[in-house]
Amino acid sequence: MRRVLCVLSLAAWLAVPARAEEPPFAQRSETQPPPVGALSDMMISILHRHAILWMAGASNNWPLADYEARQLKARFAEAAQAYRNIPVETITAATKALDNVSAAIEQKNKPQFALRFLALTSACNACHASAGVGFVVIETPRTSPFTNQSFAPATK
Ligand code: HEC
């Protein structure tokens, strides 16, 4: 029985088309979507990605920066879908700021990336203020909080 379930879930897994932001070897199951975490846990993940995004851009690692910007956008979309009472304009502002960052990444324009990253960070803080959690203040990371990830562009 367990093997049948396993084959069935594998079949369902294979039938699901890839989503743009997911690598081809790890497609999300439509029948068993992963559980949605608490909003505050999603925000901790967003906080990490915000830091990685900055480190990637500051290190001229544009493929990583592009990847993180897409991850952030997907996490915002998930939060907006899972929590319907989030004011739509705050999500729109953050998404628009993120799109502007992505455009700078596409052009590998570091000064523009830095300016637009600041605007993104302001969008984080604007939503926190309007959501009554204005004590959660986001800023540009001064150093990487991760000592186990290299941000230098890959050599191949
Ligand atoms: C659309 C609104 C909105 C946007 C945009 C937003 N946040 Fe949040 N954030 C919240 C809310 C609401 C909470 C409080 C969640 C709770 O306590 O359940 C929160 C909480 C947090 C927390 C505290 C989590 C904890 O458990 O300590 C962090 C860190 C955080 N956000 C980071 C960010 C970062 C970084 C960005 C921007 C890249 C961002 N947020 C953008 C709404 C937003």
How remote is the CA of residue 114 from the centroid of ligand 1, in Å? Answer: 21
Closest ligand 1 atom to residue 80 Cα is 1
How remote is the CA of residue 84 from the centroid of ligand 1, in Å? Answer: 15
Task: Report the percent of the chain where pLDDT is more than 70.
Answer: 77
Q: Quick check: CB of 50 below 6 Å from ligand 1?
A: yes
Instruction: Tell whether the model's pLDDT for residue 12 goes beyond 70.
Output: no
- Across 16-25, 32-41, 100-109, least confident range: 16-25
Closest ligand 1 atom to residue 87 Cα is 1
Give me the pLDDT at residue 35, please. Answer: 67
61 and 111 in contact (C-beta within 8 Å)? no
> What is the overall mean pLDDT for the chain?
83
84 and 107 in contact (C-beta within 8 Å)? no
Listed in sequence order, the residues at least 6 apart from 45 whose beta carbon sits closer than 8 Å to its beta carbon are 37, 75
Give me the pLDDT at residue 70, please. Answer: 96
d(CA 62, CA 53): 9
For 32-85, write each residue's pLDDT tens digit: 666 677 888 999 999 999 999 999 999 999 999 999 999 999 999 888 888 877
Ligand 1 pocket: which of 73, 124, 135, 139 to mutate (most atoms <8 Å of CB)?
124
Fold of 39-130: Four Helix Bundle (Hemerythrin (Met), subunit A) (1.20.120)
How remote is the CA of residue 122 from the centroid of ligand 1, in Å? Answer: 12
Domain ranges of the chain: 39-130
d(CA 94, CA 100): 10
